[in-house]
Structure 1
Amino acid sequence: MFDPGLQPERTALAWRRTALALALGPLLAARLFAPQLGALTLAAALVGAALGASIALVATARYRTVHGVLVGQGERRGLPGAALLLGTAAVTFLAGIGALALVISRL
């Protein structure tokens, strides 16, 4: 039986906040570091913003799928897996490694 609580909505909002941070973080970094790094900064910012936007789209689709299953309008076997979480963790990890490499190269 479906619990009509707001858990799926809170999870969707959390993914939206995560996607927003992942999209705006590189843009802010590009603004701060553009004089030192030049075109590399712009390219990294565009890739980061695109990844953040794609995470937002996937999270929205995931919410719609889960909500459909919970209210009985979808098939249970169609539930999404952990690919969104894994992808977000991988992007964040690679961004951190890139930032660390940049800092070390500037020493």
Structure 2
Amino acid sequence: MTLFDPGLQPERTELAWRRTALALGAGSLVALRLFPVAFGHPAWAFGGVAGLVAAAALWLAARRRYRAVNGVLEREGDRGMLPGASPIAALAVVALGIGLVSLAVVIVTALRTA
């Protein structure tokens, strides 16, 4: 009995990471547009650029991992050794850090204007 469901689980995982990268990219574009206006200095745009770079890297890492996992599953079935997810996990931590810094900036800005 084989448990491998061709392409569905790896594809769902890759699509979830793609949505995460898209959300990070969209938030970064908003940061690129609003941070220099809100804080008066173009250096704040660095956060948006960093977010866009992280989103692109996350998208590419998820796609690469999907292809690797799907290749192993097609060749060896569910008994194959799947590649590690450490690059995606590292990028997820970076995305979380960017999100927390952005949240802190929003809170500090809201407290200053209140």
Distance in 2 (alpha carbons) for counterparts of 1:61 and 1:98 = 28
Correspondent of 1:96 among 96, 99, 104: 99
Q: Extract unaligned runs of 5+ from structure 2.
A: none
Give the structure 2 partner of residue 67 of structure 1.
70
Secondary structure at the counterpart of residue 12 of structure 2: helix
Q: Extract unaligned runs of 5+ from structure 1.
A: none
Determine which structure has more spread, i.e. the larger CA radius of gyration: 2
Which protein has greater RCO, CA pairs closer than 8 Å, 6+ apart? 2
Aligned positions, number: 106
Give the structure 2 partner of residue 56 of structure 1.
59
Moved more, 44-53 or 88-97: 88-97
Distance in 2 (alpha carbons) for counterparts of 1:22 and 1:104 = 19
Distance 1:43 1:7, change over 3 A: same
Distance in 2 (alpha carbons) for counterparts of 1:44 and 1:101 = 13
